[in-house]
Amino acid sequence: MKILITGASSGIGAGLAKLYATPDNELLLLARREDKLLTLKSQLEPTCKRVNIIVCDVSDFDYLQDKIKQIGTLDMVVLNAGISIGHSFEITPFKDFKRLFDVNLLSNHAILEVVLPQFIAQKSGKIVFISSLASLIAMPSSKAYSASKRALNAYAESIRYKYKKDGIKVVNILPGFIQSEMTDKNDFNMPFLLSNEDGVKRIYKAIENNRRLYAFPKRFFLIIKFLTLLPQFIRDMIVGSKMKKMMQDSE
């Protein structure tokens, strides 16, 4: 298989690259940090059919699309590149909000605008989205992040309905907290935090099993699911008291 993984220079993306580095697979690893990508490439080359790196900022849409066009045919894309802009109760500056949406949402469509016609022509292809449990319940301290991931769920769902008849598989992954550079920056208690290795293995298995929607860890997902089923005024009270405590702790 020829596989493109975005955000492959660290965390979940790098972990998935390691699991897909087999003699049958050709990997294309995309991110901004060339040094990290080169180190990973040299680690993976002994076990992988071929490893190429693409140094690119996914929010530079024209450059990104040019690079994707140069790749040629693909079998799978893992749309993993993502950022968080921290947890704050302040009004998010517009430029930060836009940057987050460019990376977490719009870059995925920039890639798929190029990839989808090719998948349709070959009547096969797999698209993996890396969303988040934060898409299911929005926290006042991560407005842009939750909104971008909820929008990503809607996008993934519509792509799945639209292109099912074309033989295209869509997998949407909603992880809870997994150890990575992103979560290393969090200074609050992260419930059900998984090691990078554990989290990545679960994601890999879900991709291989073509799970339409895989939200995990299960207990964390069930708690969030339960909260979303409650009437809004009860959710307001629960989230409100939790946030009050977080604000007090951050003072």
Ligand X SMILES: NC(=O)c1ccc[n+]([C@@H]2O[C@H](COP(=O)([O-])OP(=O)(O)OC[C@H]3O[C@@H](n4cnc5c(N)ncnc54)[C@H](OP(=O)(O)O)[C@@H]3O)[C@@H](O)[C@H]2O)c1
For ligand X, which is the closer residue by CB, 102 or 168? 102
Helices 143-163 and 94-101, axial angle in degrees (round to 10): 30
Point out the catalytic residue in the list 20, 145, 163, 214.
145
Under the binding rule (CB under 6 A), the answer on residue 83 touching ligand X is yes
Q: Which two tokens stand for residue 243?
A: 């946030």
Nearest Cα neighbor of 6 from 96, 92, 68, 89 is: 68
For ligand X, which is the closer residue by CB, 113 or 236? 113
Sequence-distant (≥ 6) Cβ neighbours of residue 183 within 8 angstroms: 177, 190, 193
- At its nearest, how many Å lie between ligand X and the CB of residue 116? 20
Residues between 141 and 200 with contacts to ligand X, criterion CB under 6 A: 175, 177-178, 180-183
- SS3 of residue 180 by DSSP: coil
Under the binding rule (CB under 6 A), the answer on residue 12 touching ligand X is yes
Q: Are 92 and 51 in contact (CB under 8 A)?
A: no
**Whether 63 is catalytic:** no
Under the binding rule (CB under 6 A), the answer on residue 82 touching ligand X is yes
- At its nearest, how many Å lie between ligand X and the CB of residue 122? 26
**H or E element: which one contains 76?**
strand 76-79
Q: What residues make contact with ligand X under the rule CB under 6 A?
A: 7-13, 31-33, 36, 57-59, 80-83, 103, 130, 132, 175, 177-178, 180-183
Active site residues: 145
